[in-house]
Structure 1
Amino acid sequence: MVIPVHDVNPVRRTPWVTYALIAANVLVFLSMPGLADSVTGGGSLARLCRLQEFLDHYAAVPQELIHHRMPRLVPTGDVGLSPQGNAGCVVAPPGYDKSPELSVFTAMFLHGGWLHLLGNMLFLLIFGNNIEDRMGRVRFLLFYVVCGYLASYGFAVLNAGSSDPLIGASGAIAGVLGAYLVLYPKARIWVLVPFLIFLPLRLPAWLVLGFWFVLQAVYSSGEGVSDAGTVAYAAHIVGFVAGMAIAWPLKPGTPPPPEPRGLLFGRRARPRW
């Protein structure tokens, strides 16, 4: 796995939409109940029940997206005792109306922990600014939302029986990565490669993003990862392909990134005479 840290691809204007999306994701995450659990890995049962109620209310659920109906019982956020005397989260008929279509949008701003949030925001910061610069602010925002919706519904179609909440900006950001691969395949990306230590390398975007996509496909099949059931890798794949398809018409008019100079693969390149 490689960790991107910077791309050699300057923009012509400030990417305010990208910055606003990052700020919105961070602010929503900080307001989520159960935040302490994502930091310490623990927390009280009451806090966990409140988090579960919050996610069932605002996250996208594949069953609800496909069948367009809510379950008969949902968590209330309260703690109760079972007939056997075991403590657990209370469930009851829902006391609110939920729009499955709108839940896809709200779910894009929810994250399951700090690593989930920071990883997504790092990718959005590095690659989103150039896509916003190329598309323009309004079109980029629409593109981001459309990719998020396609990723969520694509995952729901492939997992129609799942009742697990689907959260995160990963599907929309995967669309950004797909668009970047189409528009700037030769742009250079500074990455950290873990090999005893983190080695800094400057690699072409087609290699970095192509490798990322292959990993998502492998993980989606359940190979090479233990949490394949908790991460929506299929949503990443759908979002990535959607981003490529939407960005393809813009490719002919996209200027190439500048030819990088100076450091190359962690050492200074020799000048050509």
Structure 2
Amino acid sequence: MFVPLHDVNALKYIRAQYVTIGLIAVNVLVWAVTAVAPSAVGELAALGLGFIPAVVFDQAYLDPSMVLVPENATFLTYAFVHLDFWHLASNMLFLWVFGDNVEDALGHVRFLAFYLLCAAAGALFHALVTPASQGPLIGASGAISGIVAAYFILHPRVRLWVLVFMRIPLPLPAFIPLTLWLVQQFVMLAFNLDGMVSWGAHVGGILAGTVLVLVMRRKGVPLFDRKIVLPKAVVTRASVPLVPRSSS
């Protein structure tokens, strides 16, 4: 529907988005390792690190030679494995554009926890809507969806440059493209449950991100781009030092 390019939204609380950059680096590194390795390694990574609902619910079993991490850990590990370059690139672009300001609003440590919780929620919701699925869920979309939902709640009126229909760059208030994107995820979940894209993971991430940003943001961080206005009684003014009079 649209591709985010850039937002006009400066950081307010942190110097740099270290966690966002770190997450992008880890995702790129994992993809690079699996991309240059033989195809069998890529398949092993998808099966061994991907989230498989039928395995988690004991409806199917993974060959022990393909088990890379405990099955409960796949709630998180799946989010660092991607199918191909374009799958990775689209997720990392969304993370780059929206992640820094969410990290700014939450703080570094809480943002990392937020990211992982949204990823886990995406996997859980995917499992709830497709419990018998034996295909591995991979990709950061659940976590990214949570970040998009949080950004929507924090900064709906920020100017966002988007590429519409992959051709037309437009500056729009963030709530316009993000509302359309969020609605699309729920619509596609309702009408395309069995497609190649896990809309359930997207919706799970959105629901988690919506709730978590309300409780995990820094104290005093406003919602919906509201400005904090101090009462006039507490507005500080520059003071002039008093010079004592000399006695005659």
Q: Which moves more between the two structures, 98-107 or 138-147?
A: 98-107
TM-aligned CA deviation for residue 103 of structure 1: 1.5
TM-aligned CA deviation for residue 222 of structure 1: 3.6
Q: CA 1:54–1:199 in 2, change beyond 3 Å: closer, same or farther?
A: closer
Residue by residue over 1:38-68, the C-alpha shift from the partner in whole angstroms, topping out at 9 and shown as x without a partner, is xxxxxxxxx444432332111111112233x
Corresponding residue of 1:51? 42
Q: What letter is aligned with 1:148? A: A
1:11 matched to 2:11? The reply is yes
After TM superposition, the score normalised by the length of structure 2 is: 0.81
CA distance in 2, matches of 1:25, 1:157: 26
Corresponding residue of 2:208? 242
Residue by residue over 1:13-53, the C-alpha shift from the partner in whole angstroms, topping out at 9 and shown as x without a partner, is 20010000001000000001xx269xxxxxxxxx4444323
TM-aligned CA deviation for residue 218 of structure 1: 2.3
CA distance in 1, matches of 2:90, 2:185: 15
| SS of alignment partner, residue 172 of structure 2 | strand
Larger radius of gyration: 2
Residue by residue over 1:57-111, the C-alpha shift from the partner in whole angstroms, topping out at 9 and shown as x without a partner, is 11111112233x861x63xxxxxxxxxxxxxxxxxx5475741111222211100
Alignment equivalent of 1:108, drawn from 79, 91, 116: 79
Structure 1: give runs of 5+ residues left out of the alignment. 38-46, 75-92, 259-273
CA distance in 1, matches of 2:221, 2:168: 31
Q: What letter is aligned with 2:157? A: K
1:199 matched to 2:189? The reply is no
Contact preservation (8 Å) 1:219, 1:228: no
Contact preservation (8 Å) 2:142, 2:205: yes
1:63 matched to 2:54? The reply is yes
Residue by residue over 1:172-200, the C-alpha shift from the partner in whole angstroms, topping out at 9 and shown as x without a partner, is 11110111111111111111112xx8222
Alignment equivalent of 1:25, drawn from 19, 24, 27: 27
CA distance in 2, matches of 1:149, 1:138: 17
After TM superposition, the score normalised by the length of structure 1 is: 0.74
Corresponding residue of 1:88? none
Contact preservation (8 Å) 1:70, 1:98: no
* Identical-pair percentage: 37
| SS of alignment partner, residue 80 of structure 2 | coil
Q: What letter is aligned with 1:60? A: F
Alignment equivalent of 1:210, drawn from 148, 166, 179: 179
1:165 matched to 2:167? The reply is no
Q: CA 1:220–1:96 in 2, change beyond 3 Å: closer, same or farther?
A: closer
Q: What letter is aligned with 1:140? A: F
CA distance in 2, matches of 1:235, 1:188: 28
CA distance in 2, matches of 1:54, 1:178: 29
TM-aligned CA deviation for residue 219 of structure 1: 2.1
Corresponding residue of 2:246? none
Corresponding residue of 2:235? none
CA distance in 2, matches of 1:198, 1:115: 17
Q: CA 1:62–1:187 in 2, change beyond 3 Å: closer, same or farther?
A: same
Corresponding residue of 1:77? none
1:126 matched to 2:97? The reply is yes
* Residue correspondences, number: 222
CA distance in 1, matches of 2:199, 2:103: 24
CA distance in 1, matches of 2:191, 2:203: 14
Q: Which moves more between the two structures, 204-213 or 125-134?
A: 204-213
CA distance in 1, matches of 2:50, 2:164: 34
Q: Which is strand-richer, 1 or 2?
A: 1
Structure 2: give runs of 5+ residues left out of the alignment. 228-248
Q: CA 1:70–1:31 in 2, change beyond 3 Å: closer, same or farther?
A: farther
Q: CA 1:52–1:6 in 2, change beyond 3 Å: closer, same or farther?
A: same
